[in-house]
Structure 1
Amino acid sequence: MADLLELIDISKTFDVRSGGRRATLSAVDHVSLTVRPGTTLGIVGESGCGKSTLARVIVGLHLADDGELVFDGKQMLTGKRRTPGELKQMQMVFQDPSSALNPRATISESIAFPLQVQGASKSVIAERVATVMRDVGLPAAYASRYPHQLSGGQRQRVNIARALALQPKLVVLDEAVSALDKSIQAQVLNLLSDLQDEYGLTYVFISHDLNVVRYLSDDVAVMYLGQVVEQGSAQQLYDEPKHPYTQLLLSSVPTLDPAESTRDEPVDTADSTEIPSPIDPPSGCRFRTRCPFATDLCAQVVPVPIQVGEGRTVACHLYTTP
């Protein structure tokens, strides 16, 4: 089965001011990813690694500087605004459920808005709003309420309902549960899983919470300073991480299970525990300043992703040198 989404060498930079001078921030640097239909691709990494920028490039909120995006067999121009038909097939759920909703619009009005933009009739809009509200677990009586009258979890259900209103093929979830309490997170994650089966959805799920990503994702990509350093199935990546950065991330995940309290210590870092600036990233491998295995080669040559198993790649000189 062909991939639903394919990103090929996607790059995105921003012009910023740093220290009183103009500079270029490399948010996404030559990222290539694929997403199979009906599956979830999880994207993880520390804050500032480019996850959210990549999400916005996928749905067209940011225009990529370079690269190709192929969606459902059709190449989309990454440097031009999306057409209404293209936008209909991709929807996004944002991190903050409050700021993503218009405080002056009722719940039904918020959900109906994308349908109105697409020119749907009033009868179709009314039917579709009622359907998606029911599917995300919102009582019909909430249709006339305003966002401030709902809890955080309920507001996020509204955002999910609005994303589903146009019956998209792909939904990008950018830290969609990180602002919620843990108990509510679990409810929303179970809802997303049920909706994926019911609607046949494909997800790109972005989060800094590795446990949440493991629960929902079929495949995982690990980003560091704008680049993908490792990707593969969730089981492969979590059971046997290859890249030193992935090992660092997973070893730092806290556990409440006493049986796992003796797990290995986090990977020792080399020169610094601080993340380098994306304005002036290290030469060669961008992780080398924090990597205990770094060599002279790492400072001179950018590692390219190589296959280390079926459907699995890693960008590290440990796997390219004898």
Structure 2
Amino acid sequence: MSLTADRVTCRYGDHVVLEEASLTLEPGRVLGLTGPSGSGKSSLARILTGLRPPDGGTVLVDGEPVTTRRGRMDGRVGLLHQSPRAATDPRMRLRRIIAEPFSARGRSGPRGSEADDRVAELARKVGLTPDLLDRHGDRVSAGQLQRACVARALAASPRYLVCDEPTAMLDAASTATIAHLLSELAAEGVGLLAISHDHALLNAWADEVVDLKETTSRAAEPLADHTAE
């Protein structure tokens, strides 16, 4: 089982952002991905989560192709954005933000008291106190809102989670908290793709770090491997 990008190409008009980029993410692993600005990291994140089809190559989730938004919404691949404020409606309370994936499931999702209990459970897991759940997104800190976004991602029970600069907007304390939460997810079997410019964070956090420019036209080569530590 794996989330695999095989020679993925992405273009915007005549501009090629990615050219035959390849990587493989396995459940329970933290794969760090870095690269210079404009190298296509966020574009690859959108393709991996089904938000944008590739212009070439394939994305496979456990051997099945994912080329549309539906591939993201089935819950197997989640996305954690770099800016929690850009990724949420400021008029929504945190409990509703966390519960968004339940609505996407339709009749198969939890409802009523079951949904409330699940939201409370997820909130505890990410360290949100009950009083914060009834606050609107624009009435909490960026770190608290990002925790709610982590809980929202977990509500979909993803097998893989693509984290696009998840700590870029956070202070040092919140960065450490989010990194710890995501590491716990990996320990529970979720595959994490951690995209970041912060090489020190990735080297301390990820099992393996690859540079996106090194994935072009061939399989990624590790820059750092901490599995033996």
Structure 2 length normalisation: TM-score? 0.90
Asked if 1:42 is matched to 2:32, the reply is yes
Residues 225 and 72 of structure 1, relative CA distance in 2, 3 Å threshold: closer
| 1:265-322, Cα deviation, whole Å (9 max, x unpaired) | xxxxxxxxxxxxxxxxxxxxxxxxxxxxxxxxxxxxxxxxxxxxxxxxxxxxxxxxxx
Rounded Cα–Cα distance in structure 1 between residues aligned with 2:103 and 2:113: 11
Structure 2: which 5+ runs fail to align? none
For residue 204 of structure 2, the aligned residue among 188, 212, 215 is 215
What aligned pairs does 1:129-208 form with structure 2 within 5 A after superposition? 129-197=119-187, 199-208=188-197
CA RMSD after TM alignment:
2.0
Rounded Cα–Cα distance in structure 1 between residues aligned with 2:93 and 2:147: 14
Rounded Cα–Cα distance in structure 2 between residues aligned with 1:135 and 1:91: 17
Contact 2:22 2:215 in 1 (8 A): no
Match of 2:81 in 1: 94
For residue 60 of structure 2, the aligned residue among 52, 70, 93 is 70
Contact 1:106 1:143 in 2 (8 A): yes
By relative contact order (CA 8 Å, sep 6+), the higher-ranking structure is: 2
Match of 1:227 in 2: 216
Structure 2 counterpart SS, 1:9: strand
| 1:130-160, Cα deviation, whole Å (9 max, x unpaired) | 1110100001121111112211111110110
Deviation of the 1:233 alpha carbon: 6.1
- The alignment of Structure 1 onto Structure 2 pairs a total of residues equal to 222
Structure 2 counterpart SS, 1:183: helix
Match of 1:111 in 2: 98
| 1:65-107, Cα deviation, whole Å (9 max, x unpaired) | 111111123233x2x44257x5311111101111211111110
Larger radius of gyration: 1
Contact 1:49 1:226 in 2 (8 A): no
Residues 131 and 233 of structure 1, relative CA distance in 2, 3 Å threshold: farther
Deviation of the 1:13 alpha carbon: 0.3
Deviation of the 1:227 alpha carbon: 3.0
Deviation of the 1:235 alpha carbon: 2.9
Residues 226 and 61 of structure 1, relative CA distance in 2, 3 Å threshold: farther
